[in-house]
Amino acid sequence: MSTRLALSQCPRFFRLLTTRSCRPTPCSINIPQSAVGDVRCLWVSSRTRSYSSTAKGFGVPSTRLHTSATSSQRLSPAEWWRRRGSNPPAHGTVVRPRRRGATAFITLFGFLGGTVLGFYLYDREGFNHNVLALVRSSRALKTGFLMGVDYKWSLRDDEAKIGKEEYERRKSACHQRSADRMLELCKDNQGIYIKLGQHIAAMVFLLPLEYTETMRPLQDRCPMTPFADVEALFKSDLGCSISDMFSEFNPQPLGVASLAQVHRARLLTGQEVAVKVQHPYLDEYTPVDIATTCFIVRLAKKVFPQFDFDWLAEEMQESLPQELDFVNEAANAQKAKALFADQSVLHIPEVYWSARRLLVMEFCAGGKIDDVEYYRKHNLSVMEVSAELSKIYSQMMFLHGFVHCDPHPGNIFVRPRPRPLLSYIPILRWFLSNPHNFEIILLDHGLYRQLSNAFRLDYAHLWASILAGNEPDILLYSYKLFSYGKYGSASPAKASDGIEYHRLFASMLTGRSWDVISDHETGLAQKRTTHEFEVIKAKASTGRFFLAIADILAKLPRELLLLLKSNDLLRAVDEKLGVADAGAEGGMDHMLRTVATMGWYCALAIKRETTRQMVAQRAEMGIVRPVWTEEAYWRSVVGYWRVGIRVWALEAWLWGRRVFRRLSAAG
């Protein structure tokens, strides 16, 4: 005799014996009546031992069933202690164990959540600041991590294994992916990250083209601060509103940079001014951003020992605090204005009032230095503007030693002015402070570098050697400059991987190939051709040249690094104006004039500094004999006049050729 039991009424043990894919069906099976009790006992006994082995894969936890069938079993002290005080379960029920891991996790989560909520309620402003700082840092760390992994994986095979062409292709693709990641990071975090991106974009001849081209949009696309935040900044820093200081204030900024934005306003006296306002969020996040950047750079150095970019982090640590202090910027502007007081071709706006995050200065209208349409509209000569800009920076570097180190197009304007009548006479125009029909306006004086006299003299000697194509002197003064700062030594280093470092450094400084520099006939006076640019680009993209450039940048003193950046920015302006192109009209004349002008200021700096050092030595030693009795003095004088006569002869020749061309065209 058998008893019919539906599967839905069978104990759970039967369902455990089936696979996961099996589903209970309304079918039935025949079980003898005498076996029913055995089946139930079997189910009860099965629940008294662990299912961890028999029910593996079904997700059933290990447990024991407390029924009358198990009451006669002897319990261990630990088991008895765990079950104490609990009522015995009903017959046929399963007691679920307490999940201690889940309980601990919930407790910890609740504790942390309560702590975070407490901090938020206690100091909401500080809490939001910390959260945003954490988000910014996590973005930077994530980007740095992805870039490191990408480089490690993409360049896991060396050049000898996969071939030079494939290796360069992989490296270029990796450069581009990393540059895209960095661009997104700069756009998301803004602030000093945009400044970092602009710094990278400026180093056209020093860093891979993928980075400099990708970062170029950051030069003109900076997010603006809302006007409400500008008003709040006035109240927090000055304790007064905008209407208390200005009769008019345009809420739409004239220009937005990475660190500040400029508004047009009118004082209560009626005078029109430009108001420079720092982005308020920089005060909160700059220390965190600098620390994060330094951490990523040091981490990258450990992962990639061959790439040493500590100079980038150190430069940010040194330069950013200066740029964020507008009182320091006002002092720099006043000093530069005094140094160029006798030259009206350069105009530096007058600073009326300054605070740490606010600056009120003279309003100056004009066009950007690289705006070719503005030149055409106001009948300005791009050749003359470029030549005068080269003169201004030659004086800064070689004569004054006080250099404006951020000459990108947004910081240099040009505006028209009436041209003096005497400027049309070749000899008399030399006595005019500004014989041109334009003025160059220099803005943003936050980043300057003061050069020591010894550094300035060696730098002038180096440029004089480069202009003359004198390789022994280039070698000497290149490594003398390396001796300044904490890196490098004055002794020349051996060539690495077939690369002469002094030649590469001269090319980095001038943006020209060594074949052009070493040409004793024309040298740097040659126009830059497309072929030359392609040669420089091809060499800079190769692995050994890239490593050599990174090594040189790591050894350079900070002053020389900023001078390299300034030279790159000035060359970028010339390229945008088209004055150095092979096909530009008058391009050869412009290059000749630029090289001659730089040689003039180098010779003048050497003469002045040599005389100053000789006078100082005699005063220290108590020697009364005049300096003109020394041979070194006359060498510097002869060198100065040799260059000066060449410059005058060149100017006269270029003027005569222009007149001849005009007469020929008229006839």
Instruction: Give the H or E element holding residue 549.
Output: helix 543-555
pLDDT tens for each residue of 463-483: 988 888 888 889 888 888 877
Please give the pLDDT value at position 107.
59
pLDDT tens for each residue of 295-328: 777 776 666 666 666 777 777 788 888 888 999 9
High-pLDDT (> 70) share of the chain, %: 70
Instruction: Give the H or E element holding residue 112.
Output: helix 100-122
Strand 346-347 and strand 438-442: the pairing is: parallel
Give residue 397's pLDDT band: very low, low, confident or very high (50, 70, 90): very high
604 pLDDT more than 80:
yes
46 pLDDT more than 90:
no
Residues 588 and 527 sit within 8 Å (Cβ to Cβ): yes
Please give the pLDDT value at position 332.
95
For 250-381, where are the alpha helices, taking DSSP H only? 282-303, 310-323, 326-339, 372-377
Place of tokens 């470029």: 386
Residues 286 and 259 sit within 8 Å (Cβ to Cβ): no
Mean pLDDT of 127-133: 56
84 pLDDT more than 70:
no
Q: From the centroid of its chain, how far is CA 254? A: 24
Residues 594 and 573 sit within 8 Å (Cβ to Cβ): no
Please give the pLDDT value at position 65.
41
CA distance 136 to 468: 50
Give residue 87's pLDDT band: very low, low, confident or very high (50, 70, 90): low
Please give the pLDDT value at position 402.
94
Active site residues: 406
Please give the pLDDT value at position 561.
82
Q: Which of 214-218, 263-267, 528-532 has the highest mean pLDDT?
A: 263-267
Residue 485 falls in which region: left (phi positive, over 0), alpha (psi -120 to 50) or beta: left
Residues 25 and 7 sit within 8 Å (Cβ to Cβ): yes
Mean pLDDT of 534-552: 71
Strand partners, 163: none
Mean pLDDT of 416-435: 78
- Whole-number Cα distances in Å, 123 to 110, 116, 118, 130, 137: 20, 11, 9, 11, 21
Mean pLDDT of 247-269: 91
633 pLDDT more than 90:
no
Question: Which residues have a Cβ under 8 Å from the Cβ of 504 and sit 6 or more positions away?
Answer: 514, 545, 548, 549, 552
Mean pLDDT of 481-504: 62
27 pLDDT more than 70:
no
Please give the pLDDT value at position 60.
42
CA distance 344 to 350: 14
Give residue 29's pLDDT band: very low, low, confident or very high (50, 70, 90): very low
Classify residue 610 by its DSSP letter. Answer: H
pTM given for the model: 0.71
Please give the pLDDT value at position 45.
46
CA distance 292 to 134: 10
CA distance 220 to 239: 32
State the CB neighbour count (10 A cutoff) for residue 524: 22
Give residue 336's pLDDT band: very low, low, confident or very high (50, 70, 90): very high
Residues 44 and 67 sit within 8 Å (Cβ to Cβ): yes
Mean pLDDT of 335-344: 90
